[in-house]
Structure 1
Amino acid sequence: MKHGNKATRTIVAAALGLTLQGHAIAQVANGNFESWQQGQPTQWSTIDSGITVTKNNTIIKSGTSSAQVTVSTASQSNTDLLQAIAVQAGQTYDFSTWVYHTEGKVKARLIVDGYRSYSDPYTTQQWQKISHQYTASTSKVINVGLRFYDVSGFDGNEIVYLDDFQPSDSTPPVTPPPTTCSNNELTVKLTTDKYASETSWKLNTAQGHTVASGADFTNNTTHTETLCLTDGMYNFVISDSYGDGICCEFGNGSYLLTHNNQTIAEGASFTNQNTHRFTLGSDGGDNGGGTPGDYYASAAGLTGYALKTQLHEIIKSHNSQGYSAIWQFIDRSERDLYFEKDNSVLDRYSEKPSSIDAYNFVAVSDQCGSYRGESDCYNREHSFPKSWFGGKIEPMNSDIHHIFATDGFVNAKRNSFPFGEVASSSFTSTNGSRVGPAKSTLNYNGTVFEPIDKFKGDFARVYFYMATRYEDKIGNWQNYSTYGNAALDGSRTRAFEPWLVTMLLRWHQLDPVDELEIARNQAAYEFQGNRNPYVDHPEFVTQIW
């Protein structure tokens, strides 16, 4: 996409069951796999977790890089690498890509509006071309990409390289008719600062699938995207790779989302990332099987504790699955698909988001059990300590929204101390989570546990959830334990002591909602039938507290 003083493009998000990143007429974007962002090929999407895609600079067909695809599952429904493009009725396109097999126990199948040609898995250590000529019967948006299949002898892990995924229009190009939007037209307006290359944005569904994105901008310019989106809940994420936002030290950058001439989200000053959650459509839609569109309808227009009480009414009747079922939830939904992407158990007390973890847990086999030190096993951590609500009492004891997989030894070190900010550590885990006396600026005099910055917002929104889900009970919990008394104020409205509310609000702003938290919230909803409102609508936090 070329950027001038003002660049505009239109993206139509169709109900295709995949992400739609960018809009091209008979042209595969980034087909040569030269453009990468945050370790992923721009414009391409992996479906589920059966494959991982990384940049490769050694085995290439053309250019300077190719896509290294690691196939780690024999379930073909989890192995698609896809992109959506627009085609015109009556036009014929020659789609092709080059595949390089390493072991010959996996084959690739070309996807062009359906499943087409296979590669020869036994042609190894060399490039081979697979192709398909496609004639569009109607003007529409189609899936293109590849699916990977295991063959006899597959050992559960194999690498395949891809490069030069190209179409060729064999008939003269036709100027497409103007695009009209019969759904929700959303406008994204971005003004960049002096370091536009650091800025990018994504628009995700409630399930975390990216439907549109922007990157590779030019400095000090305005860029506008007009998106056509179906009814549903969306998450707009704007990022700055340097961590200083887009305003105001190095220019006057800003962003603005509008729908029907109304502002959906706007901002300028942030650090690494800012996230805005919103719903489009009169009924919100179901967003592909995610949040019911009218889930929060009864809370519309409310603020303050009246909003909190109505949210309580919405989420109060979840289906408790019992404490033992949490092991199964961890096995299915508490995996590292976001940092090292190695499918190990994601432990917020040992995870190192920007480097290699000191150790990893294998789901199920590394469950606690006994432990003598860090890395021995993982446990089911009540981030809101169970002693605060009186012990093993349901439904709080098994409410998955506040229970996470964590190292058993670190979990024990955390004890039932309140979350806080540590002045000097008496214990530090391998990822920097700490136990120690509270900083004097916290206005609390006692021992606290401080998780790393990456997860502080997650835990803050968990606490706001607990204050809301158990609004009818939390006012009676103050005297169950010493540490609970230090954190809880004995009311059903504010719920927490002023020092803790102040800190949680700060953590909520420091660490905005991200894709990991969105996906976990959806998994929790599917597990027990209620949601954390403050993940779906982060703005509710400041509207209440």
Structure 2
Amino acid sequence: MKKSAKLSVLIGSLLASQVALANVENGTFESWSGSTPDDWSTIDTGISVSESTSIVRNGSSAAAITVNTGSQSSTDFRQSISVTSGETYDFSVWVYHTEGGMRARLYVDGYQGYSTAATTGQWQEISYSYTANSTTSIELGLRFYDVSGFDGSELVYVDDFEPNTDDNSDSGGGSDSGGGSDSGSCSTGNLSLTTDNYGYETSWSITDSSSSELYSGSNYSSSTTYSEDVCLEDGDYVFTINDTYGDGICCSYGSGSYNLIVDGSSVANGGSFNSAESTSFTVGSSSGGSPGGGSTDLNAYYDAAEGLTGYSLKTALYNIINGHTTQSYADIWTFYNASALDSYYENDGSILDIYSESPNGTDSYSYSSGSDQCGNYSGEGDCYNREHSFPRSWFGGAISPMNTDIHHIFATDGYVNSKRSSYPYGEVSSTTYTSSNGSKLGSGSSSLGYTGTVFEPIDEFKGDLARAYFYMATRYQNDIDGWDSNSTYADAVLDGSSDQVYEGWFLDMLKDWHNQDPVSQKELDRNEAAYSHQGNRNPFVDYPSFVAEIWGN
């Protein structure tokens, strides 16, 4: 690695307004000549460009940019675009940070806004509205600046420059037809489809409220992942997936799955069904706009908590999420098959295991949903299990509804799950075991305020687990005050109350984790799926500010 230095890469991207005409050539990086994407030029040796087919936002390819330079000058990957005097253009680009050691700055005839460097492992959009002063050609792009933590080299993915004339409706394999709107006001979406061992049995369609078919796909290859783009105007729709043999696409013969995302939210997903499965969803304002996305009107859902703070707010949230539908322990496997799949890192449809997932590199192993569930194990990589992030011994054992509450039960490697055991989460000072992705077991740091044995997940999932614990403190506030006597480790974490719930050292740590690892798209999608699964939501995923409003900063 080179010594950290200011660095830059210029990567162009625009979304023209509906009135003004503009076009980014090869905007979704589907056309390549060797290692260079057509219509784009590189100037400096401080960057290298290659084609990515694994981390892609739109179509079947993206640009993988490796930044390894000590200069901010002439470090460009760009193209020019024509603009017309007096016209306003709304430019945008999507980037995917892998380490968080740099931030992207949009360049539109000058330097504009930044990306969020700490948002790693997911796509984020940068946009800027530009009014041309003259009829001319301007340079468009991104420039990356190092921030604290940059080690001299970093990989960034770039995709989906708008507007463009690329046709990405078929990502290679199968056949599909696209309808939808040409008015320019539609909401963009993408269907990620992984077929099972009999891909030719699978077909799908999207129909509107008049039962008119807008999009469809069929004749797929076996055990292959496809990416199909859609664009839908405001309205009501039905997504239907079919399997001619009648056994779905997961899990008897392969590990197929599907996930339809519109405007950043999952509206239909799964894989385990019989001959067909249909999901209704709404696009637009009638879906009830909300911070959490999805189809839930969160303003209405949390209406009873409006205007409250402190423990009064916590009690109001308890009354909202209390009484969810208790599912069986076996139903957790079914939930994983549809809603614990990796659509965010490798995007390969494998089980997203928080104890083995490597956000910035290749996973040491991957699990197929259904076929690789535990079972017996003798080491890491043997199978995935149902990890009670809030250990069930703390609430007294296999007692419902806590034992099957999906909001705190994550898919994890079985062996690492057993190493974590019922130890509290914490921050390790002296490590006795490290999993393949860097999760650690060892003695707690003295600065933490607890020096007993703790398990520390990687930073990528600390916020997820903290919000699961805030959920447990709220959902079970009428019971949790007596759980501290159930085990030594429960007593180390729980303070015996129904309001604060956690000991000071643990509460402070949870708040730190919550703030340092903000809510991600995968959490939003999981929360929506959990709501469909058992009928209640995690308020701290929908409204992260609830944490400070209840427990302070």
Name the TM tier (shorter chain): 0.5 to 0.7
Please tell me the residue identity of whatever aligns with 2:224: N
Give the conservation status (yes or no) of the 8 Å contact 1:438–1:448: yes
Pairing partner for 1:157 from 216, 224, 228: 224
Q: Cα gap change, 1:399/1:52 in structure 2, threshold over 3 Å: closer, same or farther? A: farther
Aligned to 1:333: 339
Match of 2:442 among 406, 425, 436: 436
What amino acid sits opposite 1:54 in the alignment? A
| Aligned 1:130-149 pairs, distance under 5 A | 141-142=185-186, 149=217
SS at match of 2:185: strand
Is residue 2:26 matched to residue 1:32?
yes
Q: Give the match for residue 504 of structure 1.
A: 510
User: Per-residue deviation at 1:32?
Assistant: 2.4
Q: How do residues 422-433 of structure 1 correspond to structure 2 at under 5 angstroms?
A: 422-433=428-439
SS for the counterpart of 1:328 is: helix
Per the normalisation by structure 2, the TM-score is 0.57
Which of 482, 492, 500 is the matching residue for 2:498? 492
Whether the 8 Å contact between 2:317 and 2:539 is mirrored in structure 1 is yes
C-alpha root-mean-square deviation of aligned residues, in Å?
Answer: 3.9
Correspondence 1:451 to 2:509: no
How has the CA–CA distance of structure 1 residues 234 and 31 changed in structure 2, closer, same or farther, with 3 Å as cutoff? farther
CA pair 450-99 structure 1, distance change in 2 beyond 3 A: closer
Tell me by how many angstroms 1:288 deviates. Answer: 6.2
Query: CA-to-partner distance for each residue in 1:316-344, whole Å, 9 max, x for gaps?
Result: 11001121100000001000000010000
Q: Note the alpha carbon deviations across 1:435-486, whole angstroms, 9 max, x for none.
A: 0000000111200000000000000010000000000000010110010010
Separation of aligned partners in 2, 1:409 and 1:97: 46
* Counterpart-to-counterpart distance in 2, 1:445 and 1:425: 12
Tell me the SS of whatever aligns to 1:294.
Answer: helix
Residue in 2 aligned with 1:399?
405
Equivalent pair of 1:336/1:344 in contact (CA under 8 Å): yes
Distance 1:457 1:504, change over 3 A: same
CA distance in 1, matches of 2:460, 2:24: 31
Q: Does the residue aligned with 1:478 lie in a helix, a strand or coil?
A: helix
CA separation of 1:439 and 1:493: change in aligned 2, threshold 3 A? same
Q: In the alignment, which of 497, 520, 524 is matched to residue 514 of structure 1?
A: 520
Question: Does 1:207 pair with 2:215?
Answer: no
The structure-2 alpha-carbon separation of the partners of 1:322 and 1:422, relative to structure 1 and needing over 3 Å to count, comes to: same
Report the alpha carbon displacement of residue 52 of structure 1 after superposing the two structures with TM: 5.3
Cα distance in 1 for partners of 2:179, 2:21 equals: 15
TM-superposed CA distance for 1:158, in Å, is 7.6
- 8 Å CA contact 1:206, 1:518 repeated in 2: no
2:428–2:441 contact (8 Å) kept in structure 1: yes
Partner of 1:106: 174
Distance 2:404 2:189 in 1: 41
* 1:54 equivalent in structure 2: 62
Q: Which residue of 2 aligns with 1:371?
A: 377
Q: Which amino acid aligns with 1:154?
A: S
Whether contact under 8 Å (2:375, 2:383) holds in the other structure is yes
1:164-203 aligned within 5 A: none
Q: Check if 1:343 corresponds to 2:401.
A: no
Deviations 1:4-30 (A, max 9, x none): xxxxxxxxxxxxxxxxx8753485864
C-alpha separation in 1, matches of 2:520 and 2:169: 35
Instruction: Mark the CA change 1:360 to 1:140 in structure 2 (over 3 Å): closer, same or farther.
Output: closer
The answer to whether structure 1 residue 318 and structure 2 residue 324 are counterparts is: yes
1:471, 1:492 within 8 Å by CA — same for their partners in 2? yes
Q: Is the 8 A contact 1:347 1:406 kept in 2?
A: yes
The answer to whether structure 1 residue 381 and structure 2 residue 375 are counterparts is no
Q: Distance in 1 between matches of 2:346 and 2:264?
A: 23
Change in CA separation of 1:486 and 1:206 when aligned onto 2, cut-off 3 Å? farther
CA separation of 1:530/1:420 partners in 2, compared to 1, >3 Å: closer, same or farther? same
In the alignment, what sits opposite 1:466? Answer: 472
CA distance in 2, matches of 1:488, 1:161: 47
Residues 361 and 318 (structure 1), Cα distance of their counterparts in 2 relative to 1, 3 Å cut: same
Structure 2: any 5+ residue segments left out of the alignment?
Answer: 1-14, 31-48, 66-78, 81-163, 191-214, 230-261, 268-283
Shift of the 383–32 alpha-carbon distance from structure 1 to 2, 3 Å rule, reads: same
Alpha-carbon contact 1:207-1:290 (below 8 Å) kept = no
What's the secondary structure of 2:331's corresponding residue?
helix
The one-letter code of the counterpart of 1:24 is Q
Q: Is 1:418 matched up with 2:452?
A: no
Compute the displacement of 1:207 (Å).
2.9
Structure 1 residue 511: Cα displacement: 0.2
Matches of 1:372 and 1:383, distance apart in 2: 21
Q: 1:232 aligns with which of 288, 297, 300?
A: 288
Structure 1: give runs of 5+ residues left out of the alignment.
Answer: 1-20, 58-62, 65-94, 115-138, 163-203, 210-227, 236-276, 278-286
For 2:217, the aligned partner's letter is Y
Alpha carbons of 1:367 and 1:307: their partners in 2 closer, same or farther (altered >3 Å)?
Answer: same
Contact 1:206–1:233 (8 Å) recurs in 2: no
Aligned partner (choices 518, 521, 525) of residue 531 of structure 2? 525
Q: Which residue of 1 aligns with 2:88?
A: none
1:434/1:296 Cα in 2 relative to 1: closer, same or farther (>3 Å)? same
- Distance (Å, rounded) in 2 between the aligned partners of 1:102 and 1:296: 40
Q: Distance in 2 between matches of 1:534 and 1:317?
A: 18
Displacement, 1:113? 2.7
Q: Secondary structure at the match of 2:301?
A: coil
Do the aligned partners of residues 31 and 292 (structure 1) sit closer, same or farther apart at CA in structure 2, a change above 3 Å counting? farther
CA 1:424–1:27: 2 relative to 1, 3 Å: farther
- Conserved? CA contact 1:308–1:468, under 8 Å: yes
Whether the 8 Å CA contact 1:456–1:507 is kept in 2: the answer is: yes
Aligned partner of 2:312 among 306, 309, 312: 306
The 1:108–1:314 alpha-carbon spacing in structure 2 relative to 1, beyond 3 Å, is closer
Taking the aligned partners of 1:528 and 1:159, their CA distance within structure 2 comes to: 30
* 1:355 maps onto 2:411 in alignment: no
Contact 1:106 1:158 in 2 (8 A): no
